[in-house]
Structure 1
Amino acid sequence: MQVLLEEFRQLPDYRKNKVRYTHPGEILFLSLLALLSGAGSYEDIATWMKERKRELSKFLGRAFKAPAYTTIRNTFLGIDTQAVEKMQQKWIHQLSNTPKDSQTLTIVATDGKTMRGSANKEMSEKARHIVSLFLTESKLTLAQAQVQEKTNEIPALVELLDALNLTNCVITMDAMHTQKKH
């Protein structure tokens, strides 16, 4: 857990007024723990942190002041999502590269999905579509990318695969991806 916390602490601090006890990376990490514990809203996350203030102070190694739910919300709205995604990909890649039997192949599944509720008819925005790479054995999403408008998931998947250094893998794809170039 400490290793993952240190990864979150490396996220860039986007705020102009940096306050020591509310580093955005720590808020995201503690929010993740709260969500895993059953919190379902910003208020629930803030309550979870307040109730565990003493334990969190020990875990963080310093005095901890639980942020208000608005601070938690602002952290989620202001954080650099690309930095979070890079951190997640690095972590998943480390997990997937654990030494295994040389005879074992890693199975990576690919799939594209339209994100429910992401359309905005008032702004004439279509629903977002993402393509993902999924490690079937460990049940982790290795990487994902949003499909650009006026295209399909083929170029997005090619871009994802080019960005990753996958070795000793079997990659499963939909029939749409049976292209000569692939």
Structure 2
Amino acid sequence: MPNAVEMSLLQHLQNIPDPRVQRTRRHELQSILVVALCATIAGADNCVEMAEFGQQHQDWFERLVPLPSGIASHDTFARVFRLLDAKELERACQQWLAQVAGRVHGTVAIDGKSVRGSSKADARRPLHMVSAWAADMGLLLGQCKVDGKSNEITAIPELLRLLHLKGCIVTIDAIGCQKSIAQQLHEHGADYVLSLKGNQRHMHQVVQKHFEVQGSQERFEENTYTESCSGHGRQELRSYRLSPVPGALQRAAAHWPGLTSVVQVVRRRQQAGSEASEEVSYYLSSLPAHTPAKVLAHSIRAHWSVENQLHWSLDVAMREDAAQSYKDQSPHNQTVLRRMALQVLKNDTSVKIGLQAKRKRAGWSLGYLELLLGISV
């Protein structure tokens, strides 16, 4: 039988309201969702493949979920995903992820990703999802759809309301460098490191001048940290400098709850056979200015794990950008399903193979699929 966590997941799926007319239902909604989730874990990328996987393993599924009318056709899978309220599936996913994560700690990166296969050339822009990624835990904490007429500024607060981030360090790109978001994080007991760019022009100019003046006068406090790395024919030196909020920003800083420090990061890159390049970035942070610069360096660097470990995995291992789904609620529902499947695969440490290999193994071996789901059928 499923353990406590997986039983909770199945219960959440079971509690999702069925949008179909009662008299026309031949297949239970929970059964359709369980087959779809298992098939997605095992390598299915669309409704045709979900139905095919279910039919090939119907005897196994009959011991797991009710199948009075057998496995649904691919048309039924497609119709259900079009009609199903994506917010209900998202809520079930969020509740399960919260149980898997437990108490969240370390750096949490907030970032968005477009699902390119969810839009045609003559249609609206593709579905865009904002995700929260616990970088130090390797866990997806939640996701939120960006409204088609809006941007990440409105989606990030909605996502943050779903999470318990007390004691965490939250990193967000420049689009999330907003006073309201800083206030929300501060009220939740989380620290923040927000990328500062041209959308906050005045603050960016003052912080830039502050570090330039300090650098020219060689009056930097000793709260600095430098690290280097090399690979793929490239060498990079990163220098971090942490300073209290400049006096010229004290009045503006009063409107940014928790703001106590500013950060400069200088990245110098040398590619084999080309000239060296330099990039300078700035950040606003609620961490005290006496916080070791190494801590800020870790969080700033960890932010990119949302790209390397989450978005890259969705594109390469889960083939998200290649998924052609356009109509109604279907793109959103299948995106949530892929994220659930991805986290199930990432949770497994029993084998030292990549995500694509895990998906194939789950398709080849029902025993391994049972291990991933924590069940015994």
By the TM > 0.5 criterion, same fold?
yes
1:144 counterpart residue number: 144
Give the Cα separation in 2 of the matches to 1:78 and 1:148: 18
1:179 counterpart residue number: 178
* 125-134 vs 76-85, which moves further: 125-134
1:167 counterpart residue number: 166
Deviation at 1:62, TM superposition (A): 6.5
RMSD between superposed Cα atoms in Å? 2.6
Q: Is the 8 A contact 1:46 1:69 kept in 2?
A: yes
The alignment partner of 1:48 has SS state of: helix
Give the Cα separation in 1 of the matches to 2:52 and 2:125: 36
**Structure 2: runs of 5+ lacking an equivalent:** 183-377
1:12 aligns with 2:17: yes
Amino acid of the structure 2 residue aligned with 1:131: V
2:113 counterpart residue number: 113
Give the Cα separation in 1 of the matches to 2:177 and 2:157: 12
Deviation at 1:25, TM superposition (A): 2.5
Per the alignment, do residues 91 and 13 of structure 1 end up closer, same or farther by CA in structure 2, a change over 3 Å counting? same
Q: Which residue of the other structure, out of 24, 31, 35, is the alignment partner of 2:29?
A: 24
Q: Which has the higher strand share?
A: 2
Deviation at 1:133, TM superposition (A): 1.3
* 72-81 vs 161-170, which moves further: 161-170
Query: What TM-score do you get using the length of structure 2 for normalisation?
Result: 0.42
1:92 aligns with 2:97: yes
Give the Cα separation in 2 of the matches to 1:154 and 1:92: 23
Q: Is the 8 A contact 2:142 2:163 kept in 1?
A: no
**Structure 1: runs of 5+ lacking an equivalent:** 99-103
Number of residue equivalences:
175
Give the Cα separation in 1 of the matches to 2:120 and 2:67: 43
The alignment partner of 1:108 has SS state of: strand
The alignment partner of 1:60 has SS state of: coil
1:42 aligns with 2:47: yes
Query: What TM-score do you get using the length of structure 1 for normalisation?
Result: 0.80
Give the Cα separation in 1 of the matches to 2:18 and 2:139: 31
The alignment partner of 1:129 has SS state of: strand
Q: Is the 8 A contact 1:28 1:76 kept in 2?
A: no
1:131 aligns with 2:136: no
* 71-80 vs 54-63, which moves further: 54-63
Q: Of the two, which has the highest radius of gyration?
A: 2
Q: Is the 8 A contact 1:8 1:25 kept in 2?
A: yes
Deviation at 1:130, TM superposition (A): 3.2
The alignment partner of 1:59 has SS state of: coil
Which structure would you say has the larger RCO, counting Cα contacts within 8 Å and 6 or more residues apart?
Answer: 2
